[in-house]
Amino acid sequence: MPSTRCGELPVVLAVGAWLKNAACRLDAGVPHFSPMHGDLGQPHACVALEESVAELLRDAPHGVAAVAHDLHPDFFSTRLALRLAQELAVPAIGVQHHHAHIAVVMAENGLRRPVIGLALDGYGLGTDGHAWGGELLRVQVGAWERLGHLSTLALPGADAAAREPWRMAAAALHGLGRSEEIEARFGSSVGLHAARGVYQLLQRGLNCPPTSSAGRWFDAAAAALRLSAKQAHEAEAAMAMQRCATRALDAGYSPLDVRVARVTASGDLDLLPLLGRLVDVPAAAVDEAAAWFHVALATALADWAGAAAQREGIDTVCLGGGCFCNAVLTHHVERQLQARGLRVLKPRRHSCGDAGLALGQAWVAATMLSTHAAANFHESLSCA
């Protein structure tokens, strides 16, 4: 393994995310990205990742100290990282997906002090084996802690629910105690057989894994407003919500009564009250309802993160994850956190979504190794 002097960041290779994959070599704190390869469900993207990794390694004459990767054991990138680490005789360091999103911001700004991280996206494997995506974190060099998460929704049909927002709206109805409305509400658009099947899955708790994903909450809201039943591409439902919200806000609509979300006794943020306001909205009021949802969600997130910052004695909140590609949500979260006197940071030179994730992975691994090297250095001094 290449040697690292105390205080230096070692050279680390990171293999990126499953979606929008790109690899990154962090060299003396400077990121060197590969081209974007696309989604690793496609064989050509996997081949391109292997070629990019080989090139990044060739351009590191002194080698790398570690290979960083996502926690998901079945990703092609994870298997590649484990193989490379074995071949290079260096550690393979798994980095939790949402920790990496916040670490992108920390890497861009060279942050060493603890921060509150608000990571919102569609999916990342959590340390408990469940699907995460709405995470409130405390992050510092060498360590992180999950302070809370968005309340979970069931994913009826598992992966199918990420492609079909109506399933997420059905899960929200179930959570609101209104399961009996599922067939009548969605049967005409997706078929009575499909609607009845999802109703039965939810009633029996079969093939309905939980998720804290902000992306799936956006899907549920879009389907509740009848903006999207099935998606042709990623984030289609959320983008439809944003378009409607933008129209209403640009026309001068000012949402009222936006503090309706609840923080549970365990510190999680319950968004079901927001969905309860959307399911009965008439078609003529959809734009205003979408705007209200954005502002109510932003208010809840800012209150939640702001309270955590005050409790932890931290003055900086970092925003990461693909949901912050939504300009309406980001503007309102940022403005409300700043009104609390907090410093708000988000990725500026790199993507807030998965395309920039490798930088966060590399930063986490490099700072972990650097912290370990510093601890060993100081221990050797104390023993001398």
232: number of Cβ within 10 Å: 7
Give the pLDDT mean for 85-100. Answer: 98
Nearest to 33 by CA among 322, 323, 347, 367: 347
Give the pLDDT mean for 261-268. Answer: 96
- Say yes or no to pLDDT of 382 above 90: no
129, with CB counted inside 10 A (0-12, 13-18, 19+), is: exposed
The conformation of residue 123, written as its DSSP 8-state character, comes to E
Cβ atoms of residues 129 and 123 within 8 Å: no
296: number of Cβ within 10 Å: 23
Name, of 167-181, 223-237, 366-380, the range with top average pLDDT. Answer: 167-181
Higher pLDDT, 379 or 67: 67
- Say yes or no to pLDDT of 193 above 90: yes
- Say yes or no to pLDDT of 104 above 60: yes
Please give the mean pLDDT across all residues of the chain.
94
Tens of pLDDT, residue by residue over 229-246, are: 999 888 999 999 999 999
- Please give the Cα distance from 261 to 264 (Å, whole number): 10
- Please give the Cα distance from 356 to 378 (Å, whole number): 34
When pLDDT is cut at 50, 70 and 90, the band that residue 370 belongs to is: confident
- Say yes or no to pLDDT of 374 above 50: no
Cβ atoms of residues 274 and 293 within 8 Å: yes
Pairing of strands 343-345, 316-320: parallel
- Say yes or no to pLDDT of 380 above 80: no
Token code pair at residue 129: 């084996």
Cβ atoms of residues 25 and 81 within 8 Å: no
Percent residues over pLDDT 90 in the chain: 92
Give the pLDDT mean for 142-155. Answer: 96
What's the pLDDT score for residue 371? 80
Locate tokens 């997420």: which residue? 168
Element (H, E) at 382: helix 357-383
First to last CA, the chain: 24
- Say yes or no to pLDDT of 28 above 90: no
Tens of pLDDT, residue by residue over 125-144, are: 999 999 999 999 999 988 99
When pLDDT is cut at 50, 70 and 90, the band that residue 4 belongs to is: very low
154: number of Cβ within 10 Å: 24
- Say yes or no to pLDDT of 375 above 50: no
Close Cβ partners of 266 (under 8 Å, ≥ 6 residues apart)? 148
Please, what are the domains in the chain? 12-95+353-383 (3.30.420.360), 153-345 (3.30.420.40)
Pairing of strands 66-70, 12-14: parallel
Give the pLDDT mean for 110-122. Answer: 96
When pLDDT is cut at 50, 70 and 90, the band that residue 373 belongs to is: low
Amino acid symbol at 231: Q
When pLDDT is cut at 50, 70 and 90, the band that residue 325 belongs to is: very high
Nearest to 190 by CA among 237, 154, 226: 226
Token code pair at residue 201: 């899955």
Tens of pLDDT, residue by residue over 276-320, are: 999 999 999 999 999 999 999 999 999 999 999 999 999 999 999
